[in-house]
Amino acid sequence: MKLNGNTIFITGGGSGIGRALAEALHQRGNKVVIGGRRRAQLDEVITANPGMEAVEIDMTDPVSIDRVAQHLIATYPALNVLINNAGGMLPDDAAGRIDDALLLSTVTTNFIGPVRLSSALVEHLKSRDDAVIAYTSSVLAFVPLALTAVYSATKAAVHSYVLSQRFMLRDHNVRVLEIAPPWVRTDLMNSREAEQAMPLDAFISETLAVLGSDADEVLVDGAKLFRANPGAGEHDLVNGFNAQMVPVLSQR
């Protein structure tokens, strides 16, 4: 991905990784628009970063997603990069009764919402040069944390969707990237003071270095051991399987 001269929409841009990534890309000469539910947080970020803009979006609401997508296309026709970063992480109990509200909120915010937003913008992105759809997943997509079983499962779903979407867009001018952070010092799970977690500034610095390369998966060094869990042949297996099956099933 080129690191300057883009028009970028980042969800979850009011705090944590989303804010830090938005600010870093803004400083590199990109037009950055952030999205989130909390207007006060969004206003704080754009006040601190003159030239950055913000829109309110509820990733659990399909009406909000469609409205924002239409607004982005009309207001920022040069939009060529979507970074699906918004997410929620709460502990659950896979050995007991899962709270239904937590289940639905986590699945909708972390998986269904990004799929809806990408779907709403993909035709526009196909018309842009240097187009990118990126998703923030997690190393927990590869090695789940049992205390956050639902969250981990949603990130595994994001990873699976990325593999399929990347294959289906292989003949279009849209790259599909996956950013898989390790434990980072953010507000998720009250991790700001966690000594074992990676400092946010270090994560962003390493992430930008990989993001500017030809890599489809954006992995900092601390994430690579987790990513190795499914095996190095995963991409070849997925692509070979789909190259064989998609033409056959498309004729049905």
Question: What are the tokens at 202?
Answer: 């270090």
Residue 179 is predicted with a pLDDT of: 98
pLDDT digits (tens, 9 = 90+) for 49-67: 999 999 999 999 999 999 9
CA dist 21 and 143 (Å) reads 24
Band of the pLDDT at 250, cuts 50, 70, 90?
confident
pLDDT digits (tens, 9 = 90+) for 190-203: 777 777 889 999 99
Band of the pLDDT at 9, cuts 50, 70, 90?
very high
161 carries an active-site annotation: no
Statement: residue 89 has pLDDT above 80: yes
Catalytic hit among 76, 135, 151, 161: 151
Residue 252 is predicted with a pLDDT of: 67
Residue 197 is predicted with a pLDDT of: 85
Question: Does the domain formed by 7-250 have CATH 3.30.450.40?
Answer: no
Whether this prediction's pTM lies above 0.95 is answered by no
Statement: residue 233 has pLDDT above 80: no
pLDDT, averaged across the chain: 93
Distances (CA, A) of 117 to 31, 104, 132: 19, 18, 13
Residue 243 is predicted with a pLDDT of: 85
Statement: residue 137 has pLDDT above 80: yes
Q: Are 38 and 88 in contact (CB under 8 A)?
A: no
